[in-house]
Amino acid sequence: MSTEETFDQDPQDSGPNAPRQPPRPKPAQAQKGSIVKYKAALRKAKRKNAREPEIDFLNITAMLDLMTIILVFLLKSLASSAGAIPQSDDLRLPQSVMVGEPSDEGVLVVVSKTQILVGEESTPVVTLPSREQLAQSGIDAKHKRSGPNDLYIVPLANSLQHAREIDKAVRAAKGLDPSTSEARIVADKTTPYRLLIEVLYTLGQSEFGKYHLMILSGKK
Protein backbone atom coordinates (compact mmCIF):
# COMPACT_ATOMS: atom_id res chain seq x y z
CA MET A 1 0.00 0.00 0.00
CA SER A 2 1.41 3.35 -1.00
CA THR A 3 0.92 6.43 1.13
CA GLU A 4 1.19 10.09 0.36
CA GLU A 5 2.35 12.71 2.84
CA THR A 6 1.05 16.30 2.73
CA PHE A 7 2.45 19.38 4.35
CA ASP A 8 0.44 22.53 5.23
CA GLN A 9 2.41 25.72 4.77
CA ASP A 10 1.76 28.73 6.87
CA PRO A 11 1.17 31.88 4.76
CA GLN A 12 3.57 33.76 6.96
CA ASP A 13 6.36 31.32 6.00
CA SER A 14 6.06 32.04 2.29
CA GLY A 15 8.11 35.22 2.26
CA PRO A 16 11.70 35.66 1.06
CA ASN A 17 13.05 35.17 4.54
CA ALA A 18 10.93 32.15 5.21
CA PRO A 19 12.74 28.99 6.29
CA ARG A 20 13.43 26.46 3.54
CA GLN A 21 11.17 23.46 3.66
CA PRO A 22 12.62 19.92 3.19
CA PRO A 23 11.80 18.25 -0.22
CA ARG A 24 8.92 15.96 -0.42
CA PRO A 25 9.90 12.28 -0.55
CA LYS A 26 9.24 10.44 -3.87
CA PRO A 27 6.49 7.93 -3.84
CA ALA A 28 7.64 4.31 -3.33
CA GLN A 29 5.82 3.22 -6.50
CA ALA A 30 7.86 5.63 -8.65
CA GLN A 31 11.16 4.32 -7.19
CA LYS A 32 10.16 0.71 -7.83
CA GLY A 33 9.18 1.51 -11.40
CA SER A 34 12.53 3.10 -12.19
CA ILE A 35 14.41 -0.01 -10.94
CA VAL A 36 12.25 -2.30 -13.07
CA LYS A 37 12.92 -0.15 -16.15
CA TYR A 38 16.65 -0.17 -15.42
CA LYS A 39 16.79 -3.97 -15.15
CA ALA A 40 14.72 -4.38 -18.31
CA ALA A 41 17.05 -2.03 -20.22
CA LEU A 42 20.08 -3.91 -18.88
CA ARG A 43 18.70 -7.27 -20.04
CA LYS A 44 17.92 -5.82 -23.48
CA ALA A 45 21.45 -4.47 -23.80
CA LYS A 46 22.93 -7.84 -22.84
CA ARG A 47 20.81 -9.65 -25.44
CA LYS A 48 21.76 -7.11 -28.09
CA ASN A 49 25.48 -7.40 -27.45
CA ALA A 50 25.52 -11.14 -26.88
CA ARG A 51 27.22 -13.33 -29.52
CA GLU A 52 28.13 -16.95 -29.97
CA PRO A 53 31.62 -17.89 -28.66
CA GLU A 54 34.13 -18.16 -31.49
CA ILE A 55 37.51 -19.88 -31.65
CA ASP A 56 39.84 -17.17 -32.87
CA PHE A 57 43.01 -19.27 -32.55
CA LEU A 58 44.18 -22.74 -33.65
CA ASN A 59 46.54 -24.87 -31.58
CA ILE A 60 48.26 -27.20 -34.04
CA THR A 61 50.91 -28.55 -31.67
CA ALA A 62 48.99 -31.72 -30.86
CA MET A 63 48.12 -32.30 -34.52
CA LEU A 64 51.77 -31.89 -35.58
CA ASP A 65 52.89 -34.37 -32.92
CA LEU A 66 50.37 -36.91 -34.20
CA MET A 67 51.38 -36.41 -37.84
CA THR A 68 55.07 -36.79 -36.93
CA ILE A 69 54.42 -40.11 -35.18
CA ILE A 70 52.39 -41.39 -38.14
CA LEU A 71 55.09 -40.29 -40.60
CA VAL A 72 57.86 -42.04 -38.65
CA PHE A 73 55.75 -45.20 -38.42
CA LEU A 74 55.06 -45.22 -42.18
CA LEU A 75 58.70 -44.60 -43.07
CA LYS A 76 59.81 -47.38 -40.75
CA SER A 77 57.25 -49.76 -42.21
CA LEU A 78 58.28 -48.98 -45.78
CA ALA A 79 61.98 -49.21 -45.01
CA SER A 80 61.67 -52.58 -43.29
CA SER A 81 59.35 -54.17 -45.84
CA ALA A 82 60.82 -56.37 -48.55
CA GLY A 83 57.95 -55.39 -50.80
CA ALA A 84 59.18 -51.80 -50.71
CA ILE A 85 62.48 -52.69 -52.40
CA PRO A 86 62.28 -51.34 -55.95
CA GLN A 87 63.05 -53.92 -58.61
CA SER A 88 64.74 -53.05 -61.87
CA ASP A 89 66.99 -54.59 -64.49
CA ASP A 90 69.78 -54.43 -61.91
CA LEU A 91 67.82 -56.32 -59.23
CA ARG A 92 65.20 -59.03 -59.72
CA LEU A 93 64.19 -61.23 -56.79
CA PRO A 94 63.96 -64.99 -57.33
CA GLN A 95 60.59 -66.72 -57.47
CA SER A 96 59.57 -69.36 -54.94
CA VAL A 97 56.55 -71.53 -54.17
CA MET A 98 56.86 -70.67 -50.47
CA VAL A 99 54.19 -68.39 -49.05
CA GLY A 100 54.86 -66.33 -45.96
CA GLU A 101 55.40 -62.86 -44.56
CA PRO A 102 58.92 -61.43 -44.92
CA SER A 103 60.91 -60.94 -41.75
CA ASP A 104 61.33 -57.45 -40.37
CA GLU A 105 64.30 -58.38 -38.20
CA GLY A 106 67.91 -57.96 -39.19
CA VAL A 107 70.28 -55.73 -41.12
CA LEU A 108 69.44 -55.31 -44.80
CA VAL A 109 72.09 -56.46 -47.32
CA VAL A 110 71.26 -55.86 -51.00
CA VAL A 111 73.22 -57.74 -53.69
CA SER A 112 72.33 -56.50 -57.16
CA LYS A 113 74.01 -57.22 -60.48
CA THR A 114 76.45 -54.32 -60.08
CA GLN A 115 76.85 -53.50 -56.38
CA ILE A 116 76.40 -54.44 -52.73
CA LEU A 117 74.53 -52.16 -50.34
CA VAL A 118 74.14 -52.35 -46.55
CA GLY A 119 71.21 -50.87 -44.64
CA GLU A 120 69.58 -47.75 -46.01
CA GLU A 121 72.78 -46.33 -47.46
CA SER A 122 72.68 -45.42 -51.14
CA THR A 123 76.47 -45.57 -51.56
CA PRO A 124 77.62 -49.09 -52.46
CA VAL A 125 80.21 -50.75 -50.22
CA VAL A 126 81.46 -52.81 -53.17
CA THR A 127 81.10 -52.38 -56.93
CA LEU A 128 80.88 -55.77 -58.59
CA PRO A 129 82.95 -56.91 -61.59
CA SER A 130 81.63 -58.87 -64.55
CA ARG A 131 79.39 -61.90 -64.02
CA GLU A 132 82.03 -64.22 -65.50
CA GLN A 133 84.61 -63.13 -62.93
CA LEU A 134 82.12 -63.37 -60.10
CA ALA A 135 81.26 -66.93 -61.10
CA GLN A 136 84.94 -67.96 -61.14
CA SER A 137 86.71 -66.05 -58.35
CA GLY A 138 84.11 -63.77 -56.77
CA ILE A 139 84.93 -60.23 -55.70
CA ASP A 140 88.16 -58.58 -56.89
CA ALA A 141 91.24 -59.65 -54.96
CA LYS A 142 91.84 -56.06 -53.85
CA HIS A 143 88.71 -56.32 -51.71
CA LYS A 144 89.74 -59.63 -50.14
CA ARG A 145 91.66 -60.15 -46.91
CA SER A 146 94.26 -62.59 -48.21
CA GLY A 147 94.12 -63.05 -51.95
CA PRO A 148 91.59 -63.97 -54.64
CA ASN A 149 90.70 -67.34 -53.10
CA ASP A 150 89.65 -65.80 -49.79
CA LEU A 151 85.92 -65.50 -49.07
CA TYR A 152 86.17 -62.53 -46.71
CA ILE A 153 85.05 -59.23 -48.30
CA VAL A 154 86.80 -56.44 -46.36
CA PRO A 155 84.61 -53.40 -47.36
CA LEU A 156 81.47 -55.39 -46.63
CA ALA A 157 82.82 -56.48 -43.25
CA ASN A 158 83.69 -52.89 -42.33
CA SER A 159 80.18 -51.71 -43.11
CA LEU A 160 78.65 -54.67 -41.27
CA GLN A 161 80.72 -53.88 -38.20
CA HIS A 162 79.01 -50.51 -37.81
CA ALA A 163 75.58 -52.05 -38.44
CA ARG A 164 76.35 -54.80 -35.95
CA GLU A 165 77.09 -52.30 -33.15
CA ILE A 166 73.77 -50.58 -33.72
CA ASP A 167 71.85 -53.85 -33.95
CA LYS A 168 73.51 -55.12 -30.77
CA ALA A 169 72.26 -52.09 -28.82
CA VAL A 170 68.76 -52.47 -30.30
CA ARG A 171 68.57 -56.16 -29.43
CA ALA A 172 69.75 -55.50 -25.88
CA ALA A 173 67.06 -52.82 -25.49
CA LYS A 174 64.41 -55.28 -26.72
CA GLY A 175 65.58 -58.00 -24.37
CA LEU A 176 66.91 -60.20 -27.19
CA ASP A 177 70.20 -62.06 -27.31
CA PRO A 178 72.85 -59.47 -28.30
CA SER A 179 75.57 -62.05 -28.95
CA THR A 180 74.47 -62.49 -32.57
CA SER A 181 72.56 -60.51 -35.17
CA GLU A 182 70.28 -61.31 -38.08
CA ALA A 183 70.58 -60.24 -41.72
CA ARG A 184 68.01 -59.88 -44.50
CA ILE A 185 69.61 -60.65 -47.84
CA VAL A 186 68.00 -59.25 -50.97
CA ALA A 187 69.89 -60.74 -53.90
CA ASP A 188 69.28 -60.70 -57.62
CA LYS A 189 68.01 -64.02 -58.98
CA THR A 190 71.09 -64.31 -61.24
CA THR A 191 73.60 -63.83 -58.40
CA PRO A 192 76.48 -66.31 -58.87
CA TYR A 193 76.79 -68.95 -56.18
CA ARG A 194 80.38 -67.91 -55.47
CA LEU A 195 79.35 -64.34 -54.68
CA LEU A 196 76.50 -65.48 -52.45
CA ILE A 197 78.86 -67.74 -50.48
CA GLU A 198 81.31 -64.85 -50.02
CA VAL A 199 78.55 -62.59 -48.71
CA LEU A 200 77.30 -65.27 -46.29
CA TYR A 201 80.83 -66.03 -45.09
CA THR A 202 81.53 -62.34 -44.43
CA LEU A 203 78.25 -62.07 -42.51
CA GLY A 204 79.20 -65.04 -40.37
CA GLN A 205 82.62 -63.57 -39.62
CA SER A 206 80.89 -60.31 -38.58
CA GLU A 207 78.76 -62.03 -35.88
CA PHE A 208 75.64 -62.43 -37.98
CA GLY A 209 74.32 -65.89 -37.24
CA LYS A 210 70.88 -65.93 -38.88
CA TYR A 211 69.93 -65.01 -42.45
CA HIS A 212 66.64 -64.30 -44.24
CA LEU A 213 66.79 -64.60 -48.02
CA MET A 214 64.11 -62.43 -49.61
CA ILE A 215 62.14 -63.91 -52.52
CA LEU A 216 58.96 -63.35 -54.49
CA SER A 217 56.42 -65.76 -53.08
CA GLY A 218 54.06 -67.58 -55.42
CA LYS A 219 51.70 -70.55 -55.66
CA LYS A 220 52.26 -73.99 -57.04
pLDDT band at 96; cut points 50, 70, 90: low
pLDDT band at 68; cut points 50, 70, 90: confident
Q: What is the pTM of this model?
A: 0.55
End-to-end CA gap in the chain: 107
* Helices 193-205 + 154-174 axis angle, to 10: 50
Query: Which pLDDT does position 44 carry in this prediction?
Result: 80
Q: How far apart are CA 139 and CA 126, in angstroms?
A: 9
**Which tens digit of pLDDT belongs to each residue from 107-147?**
889 998 889 999 888 888 998 888 888 888 888 889 998 88
pLDDT band at 79; cut points 50, 70, 90: low
165, 193 contact by CB (below 8 A)? no
**Which tens digit of pLDDT belongs to each residue from 34-64?**
777 777 777 887 777 666 556 556 667 777 7
Q: How many CB atoms lie within 10 A of CB 29?
A: 8
Question: Beta strands of the chain (E only): which ranges?
Answer: 95-96, 107-111, 115-118, 126-127, 181-187, 208-213, 216-217
* Residue of 82, 93, 83, 96 lying closest to 219 (CA atoms): 96
- Res 2 pLDDT > 50: no
Query: Which pLDDT does position 147 carry in this prediction?
Result: 84
* Residue of 183, 184, 187, 156 lying closest to 91 (CA atoms): 187
- Res 103 pLDDT > 80: no
